[in-house]
Amino acid sequence: MVGTSKPAPLNHVPRSMTSSPLRVSSPRHGCPVTVVTAVQSGAAPLSPEVTQTGGGAGMKLLTHNLLCSNVRGLRPGGGFPLRIQASDVSVRPVPFNAAFVARLVPRLRWGALLEAAESLGHPSELPPEPAPDYEGDEAFLRRVHHVLLEVEVLEGFLQCPDSGRQFPISRGIPNMLLSEEEA
Amino acid sequence: MAEAASHAGSPDPGAGLAGDGAELAAVIGATVPTGFELMAAEEVQEKLGSASRISRDRGKIYFEVPAQALPQVHRLRSVDNLFVVVQEFKDYQFKETKEDALKDLEDLVKKLPWTDPLKVWELNNSLKKKKTKRKKHNLQSTVRKEKLNSNGEEKEADQKDIKREEDCAQDTAGVEPADGQDTEKTTEVASQNEEEEEEGNNEQSDAKDDLQAGDGTETKASDSRTSNGEAKMLKFRVTCNRAGDKHSFTSNEAARDFGGAVQEHFQWKADMTNFDVEVLLNIHNNEVVVGIALTEESLHRRNITHFGPTTLRSTLAYGMLRLCDPQPTDIIIDPMCGTGAIPIEGATEWPSCYHIAGDNNPQAVKRAANNICSLLKKNENKESASPGIPLDIIQWDICNLPLRTGSVDIIVSDMPFGKRIGSKKKNWDLYPACLMEMGRICTPGTGRAVLLTQDKKCFAKALSRLGHIWRRAQTVWVNVGGLHAAVYLLRRTWERAEEKRLFW
């Protein structure tokens, strides 16, 4: 039931990264824009002492819905939502809990969720807005559940829509640390 | 001088343990992180339906349950160690001289009601045997029901019972030994007697240090009966904790003499390391409790297989989480998660909440990920991969969190102490920045934070400047690895955070 693409080895450069050019936004109101290449995007070098074991979980879209860019000097609303460029996505089942999902719906940034699901190749068949009676619609809730909790991003990048800054996701863990200069 | 004890060996095997088990009641003593006695009592009430007494000897609670409830007792998340009470003396009058006082303790042995507690001990052993077998077959043992009813449909979350003494030691795949500074790691020493009593000296008998985990002792215990149920020779030891400044004897002396009398009475063999029965003699001023241990190694490391230098024990993590009263669908963040003790405890015990763990340190992040991995592996069975856990990890900077303003309900964290990580000087700048950023991401009005710190002065100062964002609701004084620390429950005010980044 778990569909995983081949786990990316440590120094694998995701295809999406090399093929698409980095989006560079022009400076706005004197805000410094940092153009960062994939390699230098703030990923801390893996220290020899601790190896991360494989088989772990990846970033879920519920988390993505809460994340925003922390780059300095963005224009209002410019840091959300982060664009996902994923090279390794897996699906891991999670027991369905209708009440749980129903309570989450009003807190979600709905548009961002739809966009994220689409970008991962999991078009969610979700409506542009939740219907007024969504709480009782189990089929709807199950689709939301799937997209929020069962799709995991293992490898890829999160990109700040305003600055273009790329944050790598490695083994399911996004690295949102800024460098000294950026911070 | 004692006559051939009528209690030679174990209790009468023909007593029909199965029949007795139904009515057999046990008074259980549990050690809990000091300061969280009330939390623990709440958990006991909730899960076992029993009321607890909180002892004046801090860090202990007592409650009565039917012996058949032992499996549930073992699944309590707020307790470090368990024992069955043989007898309690609320106001024991010690004789003046050492010789007399010790003789009294010796004489006490044959007067104590050992029978039922020993039955409970046996029952407990058979439980442990079952657990070992189950673990070997890697089956899922407990099915826990979600508290949240979803449209009348009960959701069942299959979860492995990860609360096992042997887990901590046996899952050695990636265990990194905590370095010497982590005094929490020495199990019994830490869990039974961390407090520096104000009243006076506080000792323990030694020879507890080399207590090995699980295996050896377990097989011993299960072999304690031959095939036809005849009692075999049991091995035992006495562990004495003594606190108070009016006693004329040391814990070593008490353990030794009491042990001598136990040996005479039961004809058991004394063995400091490979024992079946651990008799506990707890003396706290005039409160004396005699018990028999039901746990061999503290449960507090149960979730963590990959330690870091300051890994928080799970029981403390549980207490902190309980303190913020998580509600279903609450979003819970630990922005300085270290090896992930708190979020992992959170995701396990409050699976209807959503948990995010973060840290700036790459080692910590990796260790946390590995710990989650271990959890996932435990939940695996042959048919399918393990279900997902509502927990994500992110590498981030606490002072500049990549989270939307007001998007989080609860923040629970173990803040850098300044002694093991960072320094006091750094805390001076770090704490205000942390509290501000935590205030920003936290939901106004309903949000709350539970923060553990040893640097209370620095914390109080930082908090005093942020009264418009946080107000102090409760403080719990705790002991962490010998350091006096505090757990602060803060409530987020209704005031909107000063937007560092404009709200969108």
Model confidence pLDDT, tens digit, residues B137-154: 443 333 333 333 333 333
Q: Which residues contact A121 (CB under 8 A, 6 or more apart)?
A: A89
pLDDT of residue B168: 33
Nearest CA in chain B to A92: B388
Q: What share of chain A is helix, strand, coil (3-state, %, to 5)?
A: 25, 15, 55
Task: Give the closest residue to B276 by CA, choosing from B127, B132, B121, B123.
Answer: B121
Regions of chain B short of the pLDDT cut 70: 1-22, 131-232, 297-310, 381-385, 417-425, 498-504
Would an 8 Å CB–CB cutoff place A96 in contact with chain B?
yes
pLDDT of residue B442: 97
Nearest CA in chain A to B401: A70
Q: Is A100 in contact with B329 (Cβ distance < 8 A)?
A: yes
Q: Is B385 in contact with A44 (Cβ distance < 8 A)?
A: no
pLDDT of residue B208: 34
Whole-model pTM: value is 0.74
Give contacts of A55 with chain B, Cβ < 8 Å.
373, 376-377
User: Which helix (H) or strand (E) segment is B472 a member of?
Assistant: strand B470-480
Task: Decide: B304 and B371 in contact? Cβ < 8 Å.
Answer: yes
Task: Decide: B320 and B304 in contact? Cβ < 8 Å.
Answer: no
**Which 8-state DSSP code applies to residue B408?**
B
Nearest CA in chain B to A64: B403
Tell me the average pLDDT across A5-14: 40
Minimal C-alpha gap between A90 and chain B (Å):
11
Pairwise CA distance, residues B22 & B16, whole Å:
11
DSSP strand pairing (B142-150 vs A83-91): unpaired
Would an 8 Å CB–CB cutoff place A139 in contact with chain B?
no
Would an 8 Å CB–CB cutoff place A55 in contact with chain B?
yes
pLDDT of residue B17: 44
Could you please report the per-residue DSSP string of B344-386? Answer: HHHHHH-TTSEEEEEES-HHHHHHHHHHHHHHHHHT--SSSPP
Nearest CA in chain A to B442: A66
Minimal C-alpha gap between A77 and chain B (Å):
5
What mean pLDDT, rounded, does chain A reach? 77
The residue among B147, B331, B395 with the most chain A CBs within 10 A of its CB, best to mutate, is B395
> Shortest CB distance from A171 goes to which of B354, B369, B400?
B369
**Angle at Cα B60 formed by Cα B57 and Cα B62, nearest 5°?**
115
Q: Work out whether the CA dihedral B196, B473, B341, B400 comes out positive or negative.
A: negative
pLDDT of residue B169: 32
DSSP strand pairing (B81-89 vs B60-66): unpaired
Instruction: Give percent of chain B above pLDDT 70.
Output: 68
Burial (CB count <10 Å: 0-12, 13-18, 19+), residue B77: buried
pLDDT of residue A56: 72
Nearest CA in chain B to A67: B403
Give contacts of B331 with chain A, Cβ < 8 Å.
66
pLDDT of residue B71: 94
At A122, the pLDDT band (50, 70, 90 cuts) reads: confident
Q: Is A76 in contact with B502 (Cβ distance < 8 A)?
A: yes
Distances, alpha carbon B320 to alpha carbons B72, B185, B221, B342, B447, in Å: 21, 19, 35, 8, 15
Give contacts of B369 with chain A, Cβ < 8 Å.
52-53, 56, 171-173
Note the Cα B91 to chain centre separation in Å: 28
Q: Which of A29-38, A84-93, B407-416 is the least confident region?
A: A29-38
pLDDT of residue B139: 37
Minimal C-alpha gap between B437 and chain A (Å):
12
Give contacts of B157 with chain A, Cβ < 8 Å.
95
Q: Is B395 in contact with A74 (Cβ distance < 8 A)?
A: no
Q: Say whether pLDDT at A94 is over 80.
A: yes
pLDDT of residue A9: 42
Q: Is A95 in contact with B156 (Cβ distance < 8 A)?
A: yes
